[in-house]
Amino acid sequence: MENSIIFQLLDPEVIENPYPFYRELLAHAPVYQVPNTEVYLVSSPKLIHQVLKNQQDFSANLTGVLISDSSGQPTLFDFSQFGGTVDAIANADEPFHSVHRKLVMPQLTARKVMAMESQVRSWAGEALSQLLAQGGGDCIGGLANAIPVLVMARLMGLPIADLDKLLDWSFSGGDILAGTATLERMVELGASTAEMSQYLRGHFQRALQLDSLDTVDCVLNDLAQGVTEGLIDEEEAVAIAIVLVGAAGESTSSLVGSAIRILARDPDLQSRLRQSPELIESYIEEVVRLETPFKGHYRTVLHQTELGGISVSAGAKVFLLWAAANRDETVFSNPEMIDLNRENKNEHLGFGHGIHFCIGARLARMETRIILEELLQRTKKFSLQSEHSEKHVSSIFVRRLQCLELRMSAA
């Protein structure tokens, strides 16, 4: 068992299909220390909730991540090599977290999200028209990846013309957390993050200089107002923007890709959702649970404590495996099946839980729903072009498809 888990953590086949590995953890090692590191994988829903409730002993600040050493084994990368701790919004502790969240939340209200629906539907229609004109193709690049980043740019107040660089940057945060990056790759990602920081700082400084009558309703201007009022400083504002660029794009891209992939493999489910589109929202919750976009998040241990009967030292990291917890059969019956009538469908941890519950969950659900509605309305059927039409990025953190080649028939 021990050797099996050691071998599997960064094994490419297990990263492509991590679920047998998660079952192993849930059954035999709900708190598992990654060998030769002070990182613990936590898969039990009960223990994850215990960590989330205990903010005295566990910090959301990101101080280090797993990477791959020269022999392909996991080792810890200390963020002091990147200039320090990541402590913005999702990685912030109280009282800073609430301040950050309050500044961003005005752009993510139900009213604001609803107002974006028509634009998302237009973008989805354009992307699908191109795919249908050629009988299908890769639905990731121009659809699952592009639309969430377009939405993020609009939300932030960034130029749509910068889509390509924003796409690259939106995935760089996930690459840092992938666990498979080498030290050399981490250096490259550090340079990319510095470039993104400089770009966002430029746009933020322009927002600071705008007259109140000229401001556009967007996150950057809300952050600028927060600096003006002394709620945060400029460094915090840029850090919040960096986190949002990554989280808003990659998480939704992952969700959309997974939702389309499952449907492409299940024509009966496709038909059911075409006939009963009101079930799409329930379907999305099942996809979030079954193919959790961000498979886990780190917490830093502040004081020596015990978790699941295991002593964990101050300074250690725990990696909360949402994706494993979401398939725990003690919580969800038939956890590996899509159940559109699941009574506890909203008990999943796919968007986190507690004070750090995903601030963009409403937006991600809306984008995914609109894309699926358009896809199902515009097609008679769609399927994978072949059994090799799908491949996920190499990451223990994100469940995102690199490509998904479809064969599509117009309605």
In this structure, the strands spanning 379-384 and 401-410 are antiparallel
Angstrom distance (rounded) from CA 299 to CA 320:
8
H-type alpha helices, 211-294: 219-228, 234-264, 267-275, 280-290
Residue 83 has pLDDT above 60, yes or no: yes
Per the DSSP assignment, residues forming a β-bridge with 408 are: 382
Q: Which helix (H) or strand (E) holds 74?
A: strand 74-78
Angstrom distance (rounded) from CA 153 to CA 171:
14
**pLDDT score, position 8:** 76
Place of tokens 């200039």: 83
Label residue 1 by pLDDT band (50, 70, 90). Answer: very low
What is the per-residue pLDDT across 18-63, written as a single tens digit (0 to 9) for each?
999 999 999 999 999 998 999 999 999 999 999 999 999 999 999 9
Label residue 2 by pLDDT band (50, 70, 90). Answer: very low
Radius of gyration of the chain (CA): 21
**pLDDT score, position 248:** 86
Angstrom distance (rounded) from CA 395 to CA 78:
18
CATH number of 2-410: 1.10.630.10
Say if residues 173 and 246 touch (Cβ distance below 8 Å). yes
The angle formed by the CA atoms of residues 169, 170 and 174, to the nearest 5 degrees, is 100
Residues sharing a CB contact under 8 Å with residue 186, sequence separation 6 or more, in sequence order: 67, 77, 81, 82, 176
Residue range 164-181: mean pLDDT, rounded: 95
Angstrom distance (rounded) from CA 138 to CA 355:
37
Residue 5 has pLDDT above 60, yes or no: no
Say if residues 255 and 280 touch (Cβ distance below 8 Å). no
Angstrom distance (rounded) from CA 408 to CA 129:
11
Residue 38 has what DSSP assignment? S
The answer to which of 61-75, 77-91, 192-206, 270-284 has the lowest mean pLDDT is 77-91
Label residue 7 by pLDDT band (50, 70, 90). Answer: low
What is the per-residue pLDDT across 192-215, written as a single tens digit (0 to 9) for each?
999 999 999 999 999 988 765 456
C-alpha dihedral (296, 299, 304, 306), degrees to nearest 10: -30
Burial 43-68 (b: 16+ CB within 10 A, else e): bbbebbebbbeebebbbbbbbbbbbb
Q: What percent of the chain has pLDDT over 90?
A: 90
**Mean pLDDT, the chain, whole residue set:** 94
**pLDDT score, position 331:** 97
Angstrom distance (rounded) from CA 264 to CA 18:
20
Q: Name the residue ranges covered by the structural domains of the chain.
A: 2-410
Residue 369 has pLDDT above 60, yes or no: yes
Place of tokens 């990659």: 250
Residue range 75-92: mean pLDDT, rounded: 88
DSSP 376-387: HHHEEEEEESST
